[in-house]
Each structure stands twice: as structure tokens, then as C-alpha cells.
Amino acid sequence: MEKEFKSKGAPPRVTALVVAAEARPISLTEGGRARLAIPIREEPNSHRSAEEQKVDGITRRSAMKFMGATMALASGLAACVRKPPRKVISRTSQPEYNHPGQALYYSSTWTDGPFPYGMLVKVQDGRPIKLDGNPDHPINKGTSSAAMQGSLLSLYDPERLRAPKGAASWAAADQQVRGALKTAKKAVLVTRATIGPSERRAISDLRSVYPALRHVVYEPLADETRRSVWRELHGQDGEWLPRFEWASVVLAIECDFLGTDGVELESIQSFSGTRVAETADDTISRLYVVEGGLSLTGTNADHRIRLRPSLAASFVRALRDAVDERTPIDAFAAANDLDAKLLGALVGDLKENRGKAVVVAGAGLPKAAHAATALLNRSLDAFNKTLEWNPQPAGLIANSKAEIEALVEDGVDVLITLGVDVVHSWSAFAKHLSAAKLSVGHGLYLDSTLSACELRLPSHHVLESWNDARPRVGIISLCQPVIMPLYDTRQEAESLLAWASEAPDAAPHTRFRDFLKARLEAEELEVGPGMEVAWETALHQGVILGPTNAFVPAELDVPRAEALAATPLQAGAYELVLTPHSSVWDGRFGLNAWLLEVPDPVTKLMWDNAACMSASTAKRLSVETGYLVKLSTPDGSVELPALVQPGLADGVIMTALGMGRAYASAPDEVFGTNTWPLIPSEGRVQFDISVSPTGEETSLVRSQSEFSMHSRPIVLEATLGEFRANLEAIQEKRSKEHGEPIYEPFKYGGGHKWEMAIDLARCVGCNACVIACQAENNIAIVGKEECGNGREMHWMRIDQYRDPVSHDEDELSFHHQPMLCQQCDYAPCENVCPVNATNHDDEGLNSMVYNRCIGTRYCANNCPYKVRRFNFFNFQKRFVEDPVQKLLFNPQVTVRQIGVMEKCTFCVQRIKGAEFEAARTGSEMSDGVVRTACQQACPASAISFGDVNLRAPAGPAEVAVKQQSARSFLVLEELRVRPNVTYLARLRNEAGEEAPAPKKQAEERGDE
Amino acid sequence: MSARPVTTEDLLPFPLVPEGTTAKDIDDAVSLPMESFPTRRWWIAFSFSLGLLLIFSVNVTITVSQGIGTWGVNNPVGWGFAIVNLVFWIGIGHAGTLISAILFLFRQHWRTAIARFAEAMTLFAVLCAVQFPVLHTGRPWLAIYWMVPYPNHNNLWTNFRSPLEWDVFAISTYGTVSFLFWFLGLIPDLALARDRAKHPLRKFIYGLLSLGWNGSNRAWSHYERAYGLFAAIATPLVLSVHSVISFDFAASIVPGWHTTIFPPYFVAGAILSGFAMVTLVVVLLRKMFNLQHLVTESHLEVMNKIMLATALMVGYAYASEFFVAWYSGVLYEKYVFLNRAMGPYAWGYWSMVTCNVFVPQLLWFKKFRRNPWLMVPIVILVNVGMWFERFVIIVTSLHRDYLPAAWGMYHPTWVDAGLLVGSFGLFFTLVLLFVRFLPTIAVSELKGAVLQKHAGAHHE
Amino acid sequence: MKNLFTRRFDRLVRLAVTVLGGALVFGVGFSLYALWPSNQAVGYEPVQPVPFSHKRMAGDNKIPCLYCHDGAERGPVAGLPTVEVCMNCHTYVQPKDKQGNLTPGMQALFEYVDPATNKPTKPIVWEKIHDLSDFAYFDHSRHTVGARLPCADCHGPVETMDQVYQVNSLKMGWCLDCHTKPPEPWRTDGRATRGPTQCTSCHR
């Protein structure tokens, strides 16, 4: 069966039928004890209580063995140190496919996030322990994002709402809701925008039962402004999807398409694919970023132009005029003292690359900017070439606050929120909830919305839910439960069905599955071989692919667009750019410790957000990092710490939304500042705000304090021109190693030799690898305070370096460098450990034996890359002791105790797993059979890992090939520690050098 | 070749004791603190140091129960106060062995008056020192025996390539030898104490400790031989111990640590701080127990001269470090030293230089060398400076090493401070108990010198 | 002057010192022996909730180990038989004693089974005997399939035990003995030359 379903690149997966069976003994409510007895890896405690010692009395045999007084004494002593006896619990009956200690994989869909990605869930001994992308999913193709990885943590979050509150039971709650809905004159149902077709169907069914019920979509960060412009100009709903793989010139205006704007996993894949050059006739795309803030995309730009967002629209108009050769750009450049030469080059590139250029404008910008951009794209002949029309966006059209306000202000009888924390982002909504006769909140936590509701209903986590999603036209993505509900919860859709019909819920947790199945059968699946097979196959693959022929929208309404683009706007002294938080998005992940602790890729802030401003703006305001400033917009005002972030446009303040959420149980434990009060009714950019220092100070926690490379050979870089002129450009920049090792170098047996290569040309610096590593390797959360003390535990960090490009300290170019244990051949850490706790492995790994470590921290001192992490406290205590949280741990990795050192192991558990598997089946290990967690997650496929000794036909391994690249280099090579991680240099595609020829991409496109 | 045999006196830079001091005077003077009830001064000092010792034990408890996290150490800076204190205390210990062993072999008889203090101090200092390496490990309950190579069921051995492992041997050897040497020297004086003791219990205990010493020629000749032997064994240790300690740094690749000058540099520093500490303790004790006539200004002067010399050596080391950093042309070395002098911890660096190099220059003046109350501030400052030397070496090298992205700062906590202060409590408590219960001056040797002196006088 | 101590007392002191010294040495050596882990685990024989005799099952009835511990050749964990597996046979084979009532073993088993339907009702909670530390990752299949070692090499003659007890210490040193120099038979029949001795093989 498993074999049958095995699909290339993906581990064997099984289908939902199995889940139901196998998941049974898993919920805490039923047979939970059996499951809790599964040993969680942890160091055995060295001390033992008296009663524990009593447990192992001397048995018959040992009594015989220990004849005589001394022997008895011996056993007595022995009894004091023998570890406490443990129980083993056998199952009553063996679930299909399920073998203790062996993992199963299920494909599903991540419906939590702003965009539904395909998900592959690793389940061991009945508990999900790792999320990854579903390789069969056409959009994220097996890659995953930090937020997606993090969703595993929230499954086991002890703060989850565990049972309905405000009603005795689910039945009672349903009764109450149905009653209220029946009598209601006006009822409102609030949902997120990204809900699946089946959920939408369930809602319409419910509305047909209760005509008084209105459905509104609350999605504060929805792409609504941009989408509405397109709707208006094309006369139909839909969205333009940028196709970066076909673009040789990309211009992003206030648009963080590599970070928080759009379908980032897809964008990163397609964009970074165009950034790699190996030979002299290779070419790469050129990225211009024009922004007032500083986005992750901006840090990856070949050229950044700092421009206040208020000028975005006029800039694009000027650009269009220049491209259409009406008026040259110089006038605009002069008027706003921009680098005319650079703008000229930009115009040149755009002109030369009609049909191969794309311009993307940020979702936060006002309508004028989007209209202007549409016109520019038209002039550039981008439509249906580098832009693809998708008539079915993943999300519903979101209602504006104004619309919702209008609907609910004069009181409603029933107000229901489904899986969305409205109050956090819109505090005024709380009073509408309290005003309603019956307010129902359906959610994961007792958050600010649920606390304001009368009826508080706990939702399933996505890993406990059935669902489907339509990320894009022609794709249906299925979501199946991989664990029985941990608590007495119910998924929102299940509730909708329960409210729609009086019929008692016969089969709990399967009602919506049947609904979903019925709908698919009716509409999506072509039931050739019989429904069951089709359904199982669909669940196994996780996606149902329909026809994806190109859709061409109605022609752009040019006069209308020009009118819209010309809308004037007033700008004041300070402008505000509000961005979604890099990992907690609009706040929906704002209670996830992994995502709060991971450093922001741009600012390196942990557990916090701040008012970022350029150095000169800071001077003008005479504030420094950590000073509190008060931001005021017409909508409200907020006090938060300032952060001097070189690179922003002058007079622009940038800050992240989504922070400042708290559990109802611990309202004071707020991290960051809730900046939602600043957000206007629509649009996330404010053109006239007031900023005033309050005179107070606070401290910000950042994972990195020094951003200059001090001209050390850490990140090497060349311009494309330089590289094409001289392929040795990078090799010549490499530092030469000198000195001889004191000790005899380690002798390898010639077996496997595991090495890694990281392509900095592909890496964009998103945090997917960091969190993937944290999830895979049971890495501890240390909390804000300890982060401040420099004790974060991330095995993988992303170092950021900044180079000045001009005298202006705000004109910078950026480098991202994933830094992890380099597994040196001559590892300095190995010589200095007094107890041999870290030493070399004959497959090239620098092994770290936690249970031997006494924690002298000498190895960490002696590590030139400072990638070793020390357990200064018993960070894991909370998780190990909590019966729910400890289910999170990956049983293949030891949970580290206080006082031991740890570091990246190249996911040795995966290596050994694969090796044992090969030994068991007597098969050869092919390249790619071992993939590290970071590699698997990386949306840019920047990381290659493998056995460099792999010979043909299986070899050479991808990593071995990459090591031969002309761009390869080692960090701190002259230290002669022989790192086993090779980096491939990034190439900057500077304007003025020969314009990029899109030959390759064009061919590729032909193949499509 | 002169007719008259060379006497001790000829080897003396100055008379050991004032004219006309008889053996009895010496006996009385030295035995007084043991026989008379402790003075108020003693009690005050003792209760004060007990207080500090309490602080120490409290902070030890905190550290072991809650973890190293209670300290200031963090990711770039893996070693903090603990290792600073270790090196500091081991350094203090050096003067003892130097005085008792090396000066003995060189027949520097003036040493007799202070040798006993110095040796005792060595022991106590080593005792303070060893607290820290054990404490600073993440899992001390394992560290104390996993560091020792012993056959075990894991077939695992310690890593003999690790400088920390070398420390285990270096320090333990040093401690053992110093103790035996010190105890051996004590035996005749313990016998004296036994013979003078009135109270039967005292008599009994001193009796046991003096191992039935009867002062026979045979006993004396054995004693002398053994003493010489131990001096010979102890001598290389003076150089080895701190050299090995310095390997902890020299054998690493951390810029600012990885340098060949460390062994001599550390030894010189150790002797400087050691003598500073001896001088301090001696000045206080001779005042407390009126031993001015046995431990004279001349003694202090000689010690100060040695301090001056070692201070110059240390100063030279500081200078050459900078030169080498510049001359090597190594990016990272250069930066580390610039960062020491100008970086966020510059205050530490400059207080080190001031205390260790500039302040001792006062000792060029005889007045400062001979007047106890003028030298006390100097020796205190020198000890402060030597502590800062280790702080600078350890912290400033670690907090900014190779990858700027990993740079950080080190902020000590109250627990760090408590342990540092508390360790002085441990030290002084032991010193005070020592002066209360054991002869603080090598009576027998001193008498020997005195009698010889008289013998020499008869020749005229 | 008269001696402070009598000759007898002196002898006494010397004796005392010798004895104390000896006691110290003995004490250390002895506790080392006593605490030596291989002297603790070996022979550990807890009483199991179900008086199940491996002697009868594996010995007399010659039921292969893998019938119940089927994980041993499939993955890291050998696994324990589910109650269902017991009932595969005991639905039909239900030994009785002379009085004609079920043997204690059967009675115990039926506490976990619904006698009417012979369907399992609750899992059996066994006492763990061969208990490796959680930080040691042992993989059965690597040894049974990979190195083709018989179960008995580590678990001893289980088929002769009424109640199973631990035969080998299962300590790291014990593992390494074979990994470094496998016993003669294995080498001669080319089963196992030597096992891995790197930390990563067992510690992750």
C-alpha cells in the first residue's frame, strides 16, 4: 500500500482512513495514558526520591546473586543509583501501518496562514512532530515558511481553550445558537478571507436556513486595495500573479514580495531561480526596489531607491512617461533629488525588456499607485507575459471596517466570529460584541475577541481539522486531521453544520469530512475508478489539480486608470509604513513563542516591534535606538521604542503590525506593541503622521548588534559584470589558509562524507530554515529576557551584514548569511573539550554528545563561528514536565538538560535513520535521500546537502557539484579549520553593466 | 679563600633580627598569638571574613541550584568572573612557593621570617582557586569526577589534548606538594608549640601533629634533607603551574588568547600579584601581633624590589603584545588589541595598566619600599590590577572575536560579584585561623640563623 | 623530660592510621564495585503483571521471537505484542489446570480481554527490563537484519526463563566490546566485522 502511493521526492504517505483508525488511541480524553507513556527523550534525573528507591526491591534472582553481607550491601548501594524502573505499555490492537518508533507522513493543507500552502505532516507514535511543505503541491512545492513550521507549536499550546465556555456542553451551545439564530432579525457571521470552498458552502447552507444571517469577511491585511483597483480596471474580480521566473527586470515599489506581500514561498522560488549564474554567458535578473521602508525584498535588491511612499504613485507615472518616451525621468529625479543616473538606467532596462519586465506595487499603497502600476505594466507589455491572471484568488473579497461598522453599529441579535481575533486588530469591535444579544466566539485561544464573547467555543487546530482550500484556480488542496483532537474542541465548519440542522451530531469529528467528501464528489473529483479510490488518492496527494489553462482578463480600462492614477494626495513631514510582522503576520501567530523569538530578518528584533527610522530621521527627531516615541495618526496613537534602521527613506517611520497579543490568562505578558490602533480604515501607509519623543527609554532585544563586516573574509560578493569578465573573481577574493594543524588531522575511512553548500545568490534571508531547525531538533525557547542576555538557542541563525554604497549612512547594500555549525574537519572545539564530549565522526560530522558534556563552554569560546549554544538554565523544564507540551518533542533527538552545550548536528538523526534503512534493505543510498530540516524547508532551495564521496551512477552529489562552482568559498578560510559548509557567493547585477539578456528564461518559458 | 667559615650573616642583605634578640624572645613573640586569648582585633577581622564566607556559600548555592544562567556569561563570552578568579587566585599562590622553594635553594636566608606566611597563603589561595573551575561548569556534579581519568563502564577517557585537563593535573600537583612542603616545615615548630603548651588537649593535638619530633640531630638531618628535596620538587612547579594555566588561552584560536608570550607573562604576573598579597598580609599581621622586630622593614623592602622588577616585566609583556599584534598583520589580532585599548572595556584595560605598571613605579623610592602604610595602597592596587589583567584577557578577547554578527557584551551579575568578594572571605578566614593556631614564623629556622649569628660573632 | 605519649599509645596511633587508610582504600574500591553499573542491571527481574512464561512459549512451544516482537526486524523498536496478538492463539488455546479452571496466566490475561467477545479491553502495563537510557538510540533492525545477530546474543537464553531477567549489562562498554572486537563466531561466518564506534551512531 505504502509503496503504491509512494510519490517521487516524498516519503510514503498514507491516507485519511488510516488516520481515523490510527489516531484513535491518541486523544488525551480516550486511551490517552497509553500515549503519554511513549517515552519522551530526556536526560534521566540523577537524584532519586526515597519511594523511588523502595520500588526496586531485591528480586529472587538478585538475592541469589548477592549472597553474603557485602554483596547485599553492594546491591543496596546499587539500588541507590539504579534509575527508576519504567513501564512499557503495549497497544490493545495494532493500527494499520503504525509501527512504534517509525514515522508516518500525511499530506494536508496549512489553512492557518494568509495563503493555503500544501503541507506534509510527520507523525510518529501518533503525534505530529514536524510540518513541511507537500512536494506535490504545485505552489509551495515542498517548501515551507517559518509561520507554517511554527503552527506545530500552537497545536500543543497549553493555553488553548479546552472546552466550550459560556455553555455547559457543545449540545447546549448549539441549542443556544440555533435558538438565537431562529429568532434573530439581524445576525452577522464574521470570518477570515481565506476559507475553503467547502466552508463557504457550509456558510451559504447556514444562511439559507437563517436568512437573517449576514456573512462578512474581516481580513485587515487582505490584498483588498490592490485587488479592488484591478476589479475596477478590468471589470472582473481576480489578481495579477507576478511570474518572476520569466522576468529579467523586476521593479518592486514598496512591495515585499519575498517577505510579507503575496505568495512569498512561490515568489522566493521563482525569483531566486533567476539569480544564479555559473558561466560567463549566464545571466541573472535585476531587481530594483523603490521603497520608503526597508523590506526583506529591499535587502535583496541590486539597487535600492529610497522614496517616500507618498511619491510612489507620481514616481510610477513619471516612470511610465519616461518609458513611453513622453518626458524623461530626469525632471522627477531632480525634483525629489534622486540619483538621475540610476533612474535613467532603470528606465533603460525597462524599455529594453518590454514583455520581460514586471512592476509590482505593495499591497499597502493607495489606489493611485496601483492604477499607475497597472498602466506601467501595460506599457511594459507585462500582462499575460510576466503577469498571469488568476480569476480565483485564494481569499474572499474582504469587507472594509467601514462596511462592517455600518452593518453592526445599530446592534445585531447574533454576532459570530469564526477563527479570527477581530478585537486585537480592531478594539472598537469589542463593544459591538457586547452589544449583541448573543455573541459567539470560535477560536483556538481565549484571546481578546473570545474574552469579549458570551459564548466561547474552542476550535480545532489545523492539524486536527478536515478542510479544503482553493489557493488558485484549478487547484483544490485538502486538509486532513493527523491527530485526534487533544481537547473537547470542534472545528468551525463542524459548528456551522451543527447550527444548520437540528439533527444531533451522530459521528463527532467526521460530519464535516462527509460534507467535504460529498462536495468534492459532486464538484471536484472525476470519479473514474470509484469514489473511494479517487478520494484516497486525493488525500494521499493532498491536492486535486484541475485545468490550469491561462486566463486572460478583460482589457485594462486606460482612461479610468489614468484618472485613478492621478488622484492627488497630501503628504506631511512624517509618513508611516505599517507592514505585516515578518513571522506573526497580522497577529494570528502572535502567541507563538517560536515565531516571536525568531529574529526579524531585517531588524533582527526578537519578541518585539519598533518604530524604525533612518539615521538622519533619528537625528532630526534627536532620538536613539530604545527611546520611546509617540506615533499619532487620525485613527489613534501608539507609543513604542524607536529603532535606528539605516536604509529607510528620510521622514518615513516603519513599524510592524501584529505584535502585542496576550493570553487572557496572562494579560501582562505582552510582547511588542500593538500598532493596530494606528491603522486607518484602509491602506497601510499613512502620509501625514506626527512623531514625538516621549523622553522615556526602554531596551530592545536584538540577535545582532554589529552589522559591519570589518573587511573580513566572511561574505564574498562580486558584480555580475565582474564575474562574467573573470570567472575567477570570487576565487581570487578567497582568503588563503595558512598554518599547520598542531594535531594529526582526522583520517576518514572513505565512507560517507556529509557536507553542505549554501548558495547566497538564492538565499533571501527568510527565517524558514531557522524555525524548521528548531522544530526538528527540539530547540528550546528561552524568552525575551534570556535573548537579551545573549542566550538564544537557535542552532541556525541568519547573519546580516551591511555595506555602505555611498557616503550617506542610509545608503546600504545588505548580505544575508545563514550561519550554522560548519562541522570543521580540524574543529577547534574538539581539542579543547576535557571530557571528549565533542569529537569527530568518520563521516565528517563534528558530533556533540550531550550526555557526556559537563559544560565548560570552552568549545564555544574556541568556535570561530560562535555557533555553539549553551543551556544556561533548564530551558526545557516547562515542556518536559507538561504532559501536552512534551508531545511536541522529536523522539529522534535528545532533549538537552541544563548545563550542556549543543549545536547543529547536520540533522544526524536523519542521516543515521537513512543509513540504517539502507543497511536494513541492503539498498544503496542515493543523493537527496538525506535532507536536513533547513534544506527541506528552504523555499529558495539555497541549501544542498549530501555525501561528497557519492560516486557514479548515484553521484556525484549535488553538493559536490556546487563545491566546484566558481562562486564557492569558505568562511574564515585562512583559519584552516576546514569547514564542511561551502558558501556560494551572491552576484549583484548592477545597472550600467550590460542589460540582462533574458535568453534562458525565454527558452524555459517555451518549454512550459 | 678566607679562614673563617662563611656564615649565614654574610649571605644576609640585612640583619634578620635586631641586635640582642635571643632565641627565647623569638619563641615568645611567635607563640604569643597561639597561647594568649585572641585579641579584639582578631575577632573583628575574623567575624568580618566569616561574613564574606557566608556570602560566598550563598552564591555557590544559587549557582548550583539554578544554573550558570545566574551569572553574566552568555554566548560570545563563555567564560567570565569564574575563570578570572581562578587565574587570579592561582597567581596569588605563586609567591609562597617562590619564597619557600626558590629563595631557599638560592640560600636567601632573609626569607625565613616570611616563608611560613607565604606558604600558608599559597595553600589557601589554591583552595580558593579550585572552587571556580568546578563551579563554572554547567554540571558540576559530574565535572568533579568526569575530569579525572578513571576506568569506567563506558570505556571513556578524558581528553588529554584539552588544556583544561592539563589544569587538573597541574593544580592538583601544585596543591599537594605545597601542602606537604608547608607541613614539613611546620613540624619542628609544632613540637615547640607542643612543649610550650599548658593545656593537655593542646599538648595532645600539637603532639600528634608534630609526629613525635624530638629535635635529635638525626631528626634534624632527616628534616633538612627532606626540606631541601621538597624545595627542589616545588621549584619547577612555580613555573609550570601558571604556564599550564596560561595554555588554557594560548592553546586556543581566540584572537588575543592565541599567543606564545603567555607562559612567562603569566608567571611574571603571578609573582607580582603573589608578592603584593604577601606584603599586604604580612604588613597587617606584624601589626596585629607585634612582630615588627621579626618581620622588619628590610623584609618588606626586598619584597617590594621583587614587585618592582616583576611589574616591569609585566609592563614589557603588555607592550610586546601590542607590537606583535601590529607586526603579525593579522586582522583579528589587530582588532582585538585596538578594542582592548579603545573599545567598550577600555576602562578595564587602562585600570590594569595603571595598577600594574604605573603605580609600582613608586617603589623606585626607598620611602615607599620601607614604609608599610605607604606600600599598602600600592599592593592593594596591584592586586586589583592583576585581577583586571585576567578580566581584560578573557572578556575583551571573547566578546568580539571573528564574526562581527556574533559579537556581544558581558555584564556581570550580583552572583558573579558575590562569588568574587566571597572568595576573599574564604581566603582570610583561613589566614586568620592559621595565625591563631599555628606558628606564623619559621621559629626553628630563625633561631638557627640567630644562633649562627652569635656563633659568628665569637670569631672576632 | 618524660614522653608525652606512652609507647602503647604511639603504637595505637600508628595502627589507627594504618587501619583508617586501609578502610578508605577498601571503601572507595568497594563502592566503585557496587556502583559499577554492570553490577546493577544484570539480574534485574521484576515481577510482571501477567505471569507469562517465555520458557513455555519460546522454549517448549518454539514460538519464534518475531511472532510477538515483530518490530525487531522492521525498525528501532522490537515492540511488545498487542493483546490482540495474544488472543490470536488464546481465543482457542486456553490451558486449564486439573481442577479445570484457567491457569493463573490465562486468568491474568483475561483481565485485559472481554471474555464474551475475546476482544481486548485495555492495554497491559509491563515492567520494562531492558531499559536503555533515553539518550542512547538503539536500533534493533540494524542488529537483527543488518548484522544478522540472534536475539539471544544480547537477551540471553530467554527461552529458558520463566520470568525474564536481564542477562547483559547493556552498558556502553559492553556494546563497545563487540563493536570493537566481535566474538569469534561472528567474524568467521562474516556476519559482523566490527560495528561503528562513533558517538553519533548511538547519541543524537
Place of cell 510514503: A12
A94 in any annotated domain = no
| CB-CB contact of A671 with A596 (8 Å) | yes
Q: Is the domain of A890 the same as that of A762?
A: yes
A869 in any annotated domain = yes
Work out the average pLDDT over C184-194: 71
Question: Who has greater pLDDT, A227 or A666?
Answer: A227
Contact between A919 and C142 using a beta-carbon 8 Å cutoff:
yes
Q: Is the domain of A735 the same as that of A850?
A: yes
Contact between A85 and C39 using a beta-carbon 8 Å cutoff:
no
pLDDT value at B288 more than 90 = no
Using the Cβ of A842 and the Cβ atoms of chain C, whether some distance falls under 8 Å is answered with yes
pLDDT value at A20 more than 60 = no
Residues of C with CB under 8 A from a CB of B: 4-5, 10, 13, 36-38, 169, 171-174, 176
| CB-CB contact of B405 with A792 (8 Å) | no
For A225-251, write each residue's pLDDT tens digit.
Answer: 999 999 999 999 999 999 999 999 999
Q: Please give the pLDDT value at position A681.
A: 65
The band of A22, judged by pLDDT with boundaries at 50, 70 and 90, is very low
Domain B8-148+159-459, CATH class in plain words: mainly alpha
Boundaries of every domain in chain B: 8-148+159-459
Question: Who has greater pLDDT, A100 or A836?
Answer: A836
Using the Cβ of B148 and the Cβ atoms of chain C, whether some distance falls under 8 Å is answered with no
Cβ-nearest to A870 among B138, B251, B409: B138
A261 in any annotated domain = yes
Work out the average pLDDT over A811-832: 94
For the residues of C37-100, what is the DSSP string, one character each? THHHHTT--PPPSS---HIIIIIIS---HHHH-GGGGTSS------HHHHHHHHTT---B-TTS
CATH number, domain containing residue A939: 3.30.70.20
Q: Is the domain of A790 the same as that of A930?
A: yes
> A388: which DSSP letter?
E
Q: Is the domain of A795 the same as that of A689?
A: no
Query: Max alpha carbon distance in chain C (Å)?
Result: 100
Last residue of a domain, one of A330, A363, A390: A390
Size of interface B-C (CB pairs under 8 A): 24
Cell of A479: 486538509
The band of A529, judged by pLDDT with boundaries at 50, 70 and 90, is low
Q: Please give the pLDDT value at position B450.
A: 65
Stretch 337-376 of chain B: residues touching chain A, C-beta under 8 Å: none
Using the Cβ of A45 and the Cβ atoms of chain C, whether some distance falls under 8 Å is answered with no
Cα(B370)–Cα(A368) distance, rounded to whole angstroms? 88
For A865-887, write each residue's pLDDT tens digit.
Answer: 999 999 999 999 989 999 899 99
pLDDT value at A719 more than 80 = yes
Contact between A792 and B75 using a beta-carbon 8 Å cutoff:
yes
Other beta carbons less than 10 A from residue A502's beta carbon: 10
pLDDT value at B72 more than 70 = yes
Residues above pLDDT 90, as percent of chain B: 51
Residues of C whose CB is below 8 A from A73: 34
Contact between A873 and B66 using a beta-carbon 8 Å cutoff:
yes
Residues of A whose CB is below 8 A from C201: 912
Cα(B429)–Cα(A215) distance, rounded to whole angstroms? 79
In a mutational test of the A interface, the residue from C47, C135, C162 whose CB has the highest number of chain A CBs within 10 Å is C135
Question: Who has greater pLDDT, B315 or B294?
Answer: B315
Question: Who has greater pLDDT, B183 or A992?
Answer: B183
Cβ-nearest to B162 among A789, A833, A870: A833
A174 in any annotated domain = no
For A628-645, write each residue's pLDDT tens digit.
Answer: 999 998 888 999 999 999
Contact between A792 and B253 using a beta-carbon 8 Å cutoff:
no
Residues of C whose CB is below 8 A from B157: none
Cβ-nearest to A705 among B136, B401, B408: B408
Boundaries of every domain in chain C: 7-35, 47-81+126-202
The band of A361, judged by pLDDT with boundaries at 50, 70 and 90, is very high
Stretch 947-986 of chain A: residues touching chain C, C-beta under 8 Å: none
pLDDT value at B317 more than 50 = yes
Q: How far is C13 from chain A (nearest CA, A)?
A: 28
The band of A493, judged by pLDDT with boundaries at 50, 70 and 90, is very high
For A154-182, write each residue's pLDDT tens digit.
Answer: 999 999 999 999 998 999 999 999 999 99
Q: Is the domain of A880 the same as that of A768?
A: yes
Stretch 306-365 of chain A: residues touching chain B, C-beta under 8 Å: none
pLDDT value at A35 more than 80 = no
| Degrees, nearest 5: CA angle B346-B350-B351 | 115
| Chain B contact partners (≥3 CB pairs within 8 A) | A, C
The band of A891, judged by pLDDT with boundaries at 50, 70 and 90, is very high
Question: In terms of Cα–Cα distance, which of A482, A496, A500, A372 is closest to A440?
Answer: A496
Q: Is the domain of A927 the same as that of A792?
A: yes
Q: Is B24 exposed, middle or buried (0-12, 13-18, 19+ CB in 10 A)?
A: exposed
Q: Please give the pLDDT value at position A3.
A: 34
A407 in any annotated domain = no
| Chain A contact partners (≥3 CB pairs within 8 A) | B, C
Work out the average pLDDT over A924-933: 91
Among A394-398, A698-702, A736-740, A999-1003, the minimum mean pLDDT is found in A999-1003
Q: Is the domain of A687 the same as that of A726?
A: no
Nearest CA in chain B to A815: B405
| CB-CB contact of A637 with A677 (8 Å) | yes
Give the H or E element holding residue A636.
strand A636-644
> A810: which DSSP letter?
T
Other beta carbons less than 10 A from residue A532's beta carbon: 12
A190 phi-psi bin (left φ>0, alpha ψ -120 to 50, beta other): beta
Q: How far is B183 from chain C (nearest CA, A)?
A: 17
Contact between A841 and C80 using a beta-carbon 8 Å cutoff:
no
Return contacts of A235-239, CB within 8 angstroms, 24+ apart: A235/A554, A235/A557, A236/A391, A236/A553, A236/A554, A237/A391, A237/A393, A237/A397, A238/A389, A238/A390, A238/A391, A238/A392, A238/A393, A238/A551, A238/A553, A239/A389, A239/A390, A239/A393
Other beta carbons less than 10 A from residue B258's beta carbon: 18
Using the Cβ of A736 and the Cβ atoms of chain B, whether some distance falls under 8 Å is answered with no
Cell of A897: 538538560
Residues of C whose CB is below 8 A from A59: 43-47, 165
Q: Please give the pLDDT value at position B199.
A: 85
A918 in any annotated domain = yes
Residues of B whose CB is below 8 A from C171: 153-154
For B32-71, write each residue's pLDDT tens digit.
Answer: 777 776 778 889 989 999 999 999 999 999 999 999 999 9
Work out the average pLDDT over C145-169: 89
pLDDT value at A34 more than 70 = no
CATH number, domain containing residue A348: 3.40.228.10
Residue A797 is part of which domain span? 717-988
Q: Please give the pLDDT value at position A17.
A: 34
Residues above pLDDT 70, as percent of chain A: 89
The band of A83, judged by pLDDT with boundaries at 50, 70 and 90, is low
Place of cell 594560548: B250
Q: Please give the pLDDT value at position A682.
A: 67
Q: Is the domain of A726 the same as that of A667?
A: no
Residue A387 bridge partners (DSSP): A242, A383
In a mutational test of the B interface, the residue from C2, C4, C40, C133 whose CB has the highest number of chain B CBs within 10 Å is C4
Stretch 51-80 of chain A: residues touching chain C, C-beta under 8 Å: 56, 59-62, 65, 70, 73-79
Stretch 766-825 of chain A: residues touching chain B, C-beta under 8 Å: 786, 789-792, 797, 799-801, 817, 819
Contact between B154 and C169 using a beta-carbon 8 Å cutoff:
no
pLDDT value at A998 more than 80 = no
Cα(A131)–Cα(A124) distance, rounded to whole angstroms? 12
Question: In terms of Cα–Cα distance, which of A110, A61, A150, A28 is closest to A768?
Answer: A150
Question: In terms of Cα–Cα distance, which of A184, A750, A152, A235 is closest to A463?
Answer: A152
For A848-869, write each residue's pLDDT tens digit.
Answer: 999 999 999 999 999 999 999 9
Looking at the structure of chain A, the number of domains it has is 3
Backbone angles phi, psi at A579, to 5 degrees: -115, 155
Cβ-nearest to B404 among A46, A706, A870: A706
Q: How far is C46 from chain B (nearest CA, A)?
A: 24
> B57: which DSSP letter?
H
| CB-CB contact of C11 with A29 (8 Å) | no
Work out the average pLDDT over A991-1005: 54
Work out the average pLDDT over B267-293: 86
Contact between A706 and B165 using a beta-carbon 8 Å cutoff:
no
pLDDT value at B285 more than 90 = no
> A95: which DSSP letter?
P
Mean pLDDT, rounded, of chain A: 86
